[in-house]
Structure 1
Amino acid sequence: MEMVAFYYFLAFFLAFFLLSKQLFPDRKNLPPSGPLSFPIIGHLYLFKKPLHHTLARVAAQYGPILLLNFGSRRVLLVSSPSVAEECFTTNDIVFANRPNFLFGKYLGFDSTVLSLASYGQHWRNLRRLTTLQIFSSTRLQMFSKIRTNEVHSLLRRLVVAGNSSKTVEMKSTFFELTLNNIMMMIARKRYYSDKARHFQELVEEMVDVAGASNVVDFLPLLRWVGFNGLEKKLLRLQRKRDQIMQELIEEHRMARTQSKDEKSLIDVLLSLQENDPNYYTDEIILGIMHVLLNAGTDTTAGTMEWAMSLLLNHPEVLKKAQAEIDTIVGQDRLLNESDVANLPYLHGIINETLRLYPAVPLLVPHESSEECIVGGFTIPRGTMLLVNQWAIHKDPKLWEEPTKFRPERMEGIGGVRDGYKLMPFGSGRRSCPGEGLALRMVGLTLGSLIQCFDWERVDEELVDMTEGARLTLPKAKPLEAKCKPRPAMLSFLSQL
């Protein structure tokens, strides 16, 4: 009976939709709508994985600014750096909201937890807090010892693998590295392989769910007829995640004896909670911890895996990077984090990796809080903004031979941005606050692996560079590689 009622409702809605379009045409100067839009579902039929590839093909055919309909949601699809610049400068505040998705309701991103959806004073307060306590230059420098220790721990494990000629599975290796780094910052606690796998499964499942095409977010009426399977899965993940994190909070609440310099993020948040318990609730603390874990592990580990895959497929680039480190750092000590700033070719490798394989190929969606003008077109209030940076990074009008791995093209680019044609961490007030942390971790790790080991593929075949289908950009086939300690570095590696 529920399905019969649903079909009747669908037929009525379709008739009403078609009649209203004829009687009340929209006369505003809207952007072109691109391909055929069907009643009710609109352009949802375009949801084919990987979505950034599909939307890039649509933009190549119909133009760099399109107004699509994903079910009940208007979506502004941008595939041009000039239009993206207009969104993140002139209209930055207008697009400062995030759309409310079912994923956010349960996993820490909605307006009741971190106000990551609604831009306002609460969001600004928490953004300021995380910037000062985690991502400021002072705090990043304070955490540098953690990053060094984690990289050295990785080097020790690789020496054992190299001496025994074992193949190294790089995906889990990089994930454990980034997980331990984030958990040391959050709770001064490392998670070794057994617990790391448990965390990895949880975080990966969260990311998978986030990247799922949740039709209820675009056709809310389906919730009325029992389409709640994803919601049940999200609730289960939320309970599992909160149980793990709440245990950490209680541990720190019971033992608040660390010195000021050794305080973890949990200790800082608990201190704030003592002064203002109504604002800094456990729910807020849990939300911040979750966002750091979700945003700071999978993406950073994935970037390092893509970079190593590219280097293995281009051994001449690997040798050139090794020569740069040998010349600037030398072979009489291990590379440290301060050395990375003096290694322009290594920076080129990182930037070129982020261009070819951005961690988030479709920038995290924004939503307009009021009507605005973009590219000369009127954009209605409540429109979701999708910037396809993967398409921008591959645009042959912007990049010569855009599919080729050429670190040399990044010479002269300061940092990791090149206007709005290279912005792997987003732009505007909603850009990723963890950019500095990610670049430090990636730079130190890759530089150390290049300096200390000779690397080779497991066989003669090139590394498979097929992309996986997810919100972030994983490799479809995890990277495996072989390494051998470089003779000149053996004495230093043996002292770790």
Structure 2
Amino acid sequence: MELPHISSTTIALPAIFALLFFLYALFTIFSAHRKRLPPQPRGAWPVIGHLPLLSGKEPHHTALGKLADVYGPIFMLRLGAHRTLIVSGWEVARECLTVNDKAFASRPKFAAAQLLGYDYAMFALSPYGSHWSHLRKIATLELLANHRLEKLQHIPRSEVQISIEKLHQFCKSNNGGNKALMEMETWFGEMALNTIFRMVVGKRFTTAFEGSGGAEYRHALEDFFNLFTAFVPSDLFAFLKWFDFGGHKKAMKKTAKVLDKMLDKWLAEHRERRNSGEVTPEEQDFMHVMLSFIDNEEFPGYDADTVIKSTCLAMILGGFHTNTTDMIWALSLLLNRDEAYEKLQKELDEHVGRDRAVSESDVKNLIYLQAVVKETLRMYPAGPLSVPRESIEDCTVAGYHIPAKTRLWVNLYKLQRDPNVWENPNEFYPERFLTTQKNFDVKGRNPQLIPFGGGRRICPGATFSLQLLHLSLARLLHEFEIGRPSEERLDMEEIAALNVTKKIPLQVVLAPRLSTKVHE
């Protein structure tokens, strides 16, 4: 039987394909080896990864800071199904927020952003794209621009005045104008909320909920703040999205429905006033401005009303949390260092005197006050871990390969206490901003000090926050003697949460120090 003829070409083709496959496999292995990933801590568990490292009682930024002491200023965690890059050094942070700013310009998807943030319409939480870019431009150039803040400057001035008068009345009703014990978190919180509410919707927080449904709206807003940082397992494990462990998703949906009803009511009122021509340019709040810019405008996937409501809600959330937290820490730090407290009061007396109240125009001359605020933001940034970002493409950071879809946390708390940058970094020492760090800025120009973040996702409300913080602290310290309830230093322990919150509420002893004519 004659064997079939096999040509040399027939023999060569499989050999060539085999060789090409072998070379491709070698290239793939070699490339993977060259793409060096950041170090990962030991002890990752199957499925859940490094989650146990963050399950202790200490705050996340503290736990991650200790890991940075071992693994360096950049390392990778696996939190559930997601790669998470942890950055704790300013050089690496600068690389992420400048060189790779666009690569890290997006946000990861999570339940609160979807259910409370109008399905990611809230621009602070929306993914990178045209929707975010357009709203970011409106927020930066219109809502929170200097010209808009100047037009609305009477609002924080008025609310600080009202709050100061309440303190005087409180002291008078307790001990005839002498010393009185006061819990400050409520005072700071109401002042911040009244201010931001008037700027956003033209109503004070304490009166915005009057009438039908008022109590329900107020509770829903409080629930919003609590639920926004709630742990939802499906944020880390997509396969759990059909489950609602702890009932957080159900609570978010209920809260979102109530708040949407509230915002619908306010939006209808604003649209009615606008159509009737009642609103002058000087009376325009943020909701009026949003209506004038995007009413009847279509956004991909969203209608104009949804965009307006979500943006206003974002302003309220950001304005309340940041300012309240900053004020509490600033006063706590001052009360634990008598020298700094006395130095600030002396500056106020020298530049303002004791015959009138502090005004916004005084702040530029209050250099030590500005240093106190900077030092507070350095030691206790309102968000010790930056709002998470997500890479939209592969990039290289500090020589390491960072794949697309990697989440990024910048540990601001650790970064801003770097002993290579800050002498005695754990000590409250505002004087550093009058000497060695005199030219440091908190608005993103110095990567060693970025309490408001950096790059294209930097907080657009930094200027407003600083204005309110400077004015409220100046008036409080100028018009009252403030002391600790006892000789013991205030406990500065923090709550284990994503936000750097003081565990023990701040209580102080107040006594008026100026003539009653000053605050009347």
Q: Distance in 1 between matches of 2:422 and 2:119?
A: 37
User: Equivalent residue for 1:429?
Assistant: 456
Does residue 215 of structure 1 match 2:233?
Answer: yes
How many pairs does the alignment contain? 471
User: Equivalent residue for 1:33?
Assistant: 40
Does residue 333 of structure 1 match 2:360?
Answer: no
Q: Distance in 1 between matches of 2:216 and 2:469?
A: 23
Q: 1:472 aligns with which of 491, 499, 520?
A: 499
Does residue 192 of structure 1 match 2:201?
Answer: no
User: Equivalent residue for 2:279?
Assistant: 258
Structure 2 letter corresponding to 1:269: M
User: Equivalent residue for 1:12?
Assistant: none
Instruction: Give the alignment of 1:374-385 within 5 angstroms.
Output: 374-385=397-408
CA contact (8 A) 2:332 2:490 kept: yes
| Unaligned segments of structure 1, at least 5 residues | 1-22
Instruction: Give the alignment of 1:134-153 within 5 angstroms.
Output: 134-153=143-162
> Given the superposition, is the C-alpha separation of residues 199 and 436 from structure 1 closer, same or farther in structure 2, using an over 3 Å criterion?
farther
User: Equivalent residue for 1:54?
Assistant: 63
Q: 2:442 aligns with which of 384, 409, 416?
A: 416
CA contact (8 A) 2:200 2:316 kept: no
Structure 2 letter corresponding to 1:182: I
Instruction: Give the alignment of 1:87-236 within 5 angstroms.
Output: 87-108=96-117, 110-114=119-123, 116-163=125-172, 164=174, 165-192=179-206, 195=209, 202-224=220-242, 227=245, 229-236=247-254
Residue 120 of structure 1 and its aligned partner are, at CA, apart by: 1.7
Q: Distance in 2 between matches of 1:433 and 1:112?
A: 17
> Given the superposition, is the C-alpha separation of residues 423 and 204 from structure 1 closer, same or farther in structure 2, using an over 3 Å criterion?
farther
Does residue 449 of structure 1 match 2:476?
Answer: yes
Query: Which digits, 9 at most, give the CA deviation of each residue in 1:276-309, with x for residues without a partner?
Result: 3667621111100110111110221111011111
Residue 204 of structure 1 and its aligned partner are, at CA, apart by: 4.6
Structure 2 letter corresponding to 1:189: K
Q: 2:371 aligns with which of 327, 335, 348?
A: 348
Does residue 492 of structure 1 match 2:481?
Answer: no
Q: Distance in 2 between matches of 1:318 and 1:230?
A: 43
User: Equivalent residue for 1:19?
Assistant: none
Query: Which digits, 9 at most, give the CA deviation of each residue in 1:263-282, with x for residues without a partner?
Result: 12222222334453667621
Instruction: Give me the identity figure in percent.
Output: 37
Q: Distance in 1 between matches of 2:402 and 2:463?
A: 33
Structure 1 letter corresponding to 2:359: N
Q: 1:463 aligns with which of 467, 490, 501?
A: 490
Structure 2 letter corresponding to 1:210: F
Instruction: Give the alignment of 1:296-315 within 5 angstroms.
Output: 296-315=319-338
> Given the superposition, is the C-alpha separation of residues 226 and 306 from structure 1 closer, same or farther in structure 2, using an over 3 Å criterion?
closer
Residue 363 of structure 1 and its aligned partner are, at CA, apart by: 0.5
Q: Distance in 2 between matches of 1:317 and 1:61?
A: 35
With 33-42 and 269-278 compared, the bigger mean Cα shift is at 269-278
**Larger Rg belongs to:** 2
Structure 2 letter corresponding to 1:260: P
Does residue 398 of structure 1 match 2:421?
Answer: yes
Instruction: Give the alignment of 1:7-26 within 5 angstroms.
Output: none
Structure 1 letter corresponding to 2:393: E
Structure 2 letter corresponding to 1:416: V
> Given the superposition, is the C-alpha separation of residues 320 and 198 from structure 1 closer, same or farther in structure 2, using an over 3 Å criterion?
farther
Q: Distance in 1 between matches of 2:78 and 2:355?
A: 60
Q: Distance in 1 between matches of 2:215 and 2:465?
A: 21
User: Equivalent residue for 2:412?
Assistant: 389
Query: Which digits, 9 at most, give the CA deviation of each residue in 1:312-360, with x for residues without a partner?
Result: 2222211110111111222232111121121111011111111111100
CA contact (8 A) 1:59 1:65 kept: yes
> Given the superposition, is the C-alpha separation of residues 200 and 319 from structure 1 closer, same or farther in structure 2, using an over 3 Å criterion?
farther
Secondary structure, counterpart of 1:270 in structure 2: helix
Structure 2 letter corresponding to 1:217: D
CA contact (8 A) 2:378 2:449 kept: yes
Query: Which digits, 9 at most, give the CA deviation of each residue in 1:342-386, with x for residues without a partner?
Result: 111101111111111110000111111100000001000110011
> Given the superposition, is the C-alpha separation of residues 363 and 346 from structure 1 closer, same or farther in structure 2, using an over 3 Å criterion?
same
CA contact (8 A) 2:389 2:408 kept: yes
User: Equivalent residue for 2:24?
Assistant: none
Residue 112 of structure 1 and its aligned partner are, at CA, apart by: 4.3
CA contact (8 A) 2:118 2:306 kept: no
Q: Distance in 2 between matches of 1:298 and 1:197?
A: 21
Secondary structure, counterpart of 1:89 in structure 2: helix
CA contact (8 A) 2:101 2:456 kept: yes
Query: Which digits, 9 at most, give the CA deviation of each residue in 1:173-214, with x for residues without a partner?
Result: 111111111111112111228959977754453333332332
Q: Distance in 2 between matches of 1:288 and 1:52?
A: 28
Structure 1 length-normalised TM? 0.90
With 277-286 and 196-205 compared, the bigger mean Cα shift is at 196-205
> Given the superposition, is the C-alpha separation of residues 235 and 51 from structure 1 closer, same or farther in structure 2, using an over 3 Å criterion?
same
Q: 1:43 aligns with which of 45, 50, 67?
A: 50
With 395-404 and 86-95 compared, the bigger mean Cα shift is at 395-404
Q: CA RMSD in A?
A: 2.3
Residue 468 of structure 1 and its aligned partner are, at CA, apart by: 1.6
Q: Distance in 2 between matches of 1:197 and 1:400?
A: 49
User: Equivalent residue for 1:13?
Assistant: none
User: Equivalent residue for 2:23?
Assistant: none
Q: Distance in 2 between matches of 1:270 and 1:86?
A: 38
Structure 2 letter corresponding to 1:396: P
User: Equivalent residue for 1:320?
Assistant: 343
> Given the superposition, is the C-alpha separation of residues 197 and 337 from structure 1 closer, same or farther in structure 2, using an over 3 Å criterion?
farther
Residue 223 of structure 1 and its aligned partner are, at CA, apart by: 3.0
> Given the superposition, is the C-alpha separation of residues 274 and 200 from structure 1 closer, same or farther in structure 2, using an over 3 Å criterion?
closer
User: Equivalent residue for 1:63?
Assistant: 72
Q: Distance in 2 between matches of 1:203 and 1:461?
A: 36
Query: Which digits, 9 at most, give the CA deviation of each residue in 1:433-466, with x for residues without a partner?
Result: 0000000000000011111111112222222211
CA contact (8 A) 1:47 1:213 kept: no
> Given the superposition, is the C-alpha separation of residues 473 and 226 from structure 1 closer, same or farther in structure 2, using an over 3 Å criterion?
closer
Q: Distance in 1 between matches of 2:368 and 2:503?
A: 27
> Given the superposition, is the C-alpha separation of residues 255 and 233 from structure 1 closer, same or farther in structure 2, using an over 3 Å criterion?
same
Residue 225 of structure 1 and its aligned partner are, at CA, apart by: 5.4
Q: Distance in 2 between matches of 1:30 and 1:117?
A: 27
Query: Which digits, 9 at most, give the CA deviation of each residue in 1:117-150, with x for residues without a partner?
Result: 3212221110111123321110111111101000
Structure 2 length-normalised TM? 0.86
User: Equivalent residue for 1:7?
Assistant: none
Q: Distance in 2 between matches of 1:360 and 1:184?
A: 24
Structure 2 letter corresponding to 1:157: K
Secondary structure, counterpart of 1:172 in structure 2: helix
> Given the superposition, is the C-alpha separation of residues 189 and 122 from structure 1 closer, same or farther in structure 2, using an over 3 Å criterion?
same
> Given the superposition, is the C-alpha separation of residues 362 and 115 from structure 1 closer, same or farther in structure 2, using an over 3 Å criterion?
closer
Residue 77 of structure 1 and its aligned partner are, at CA, apart by: 0.6
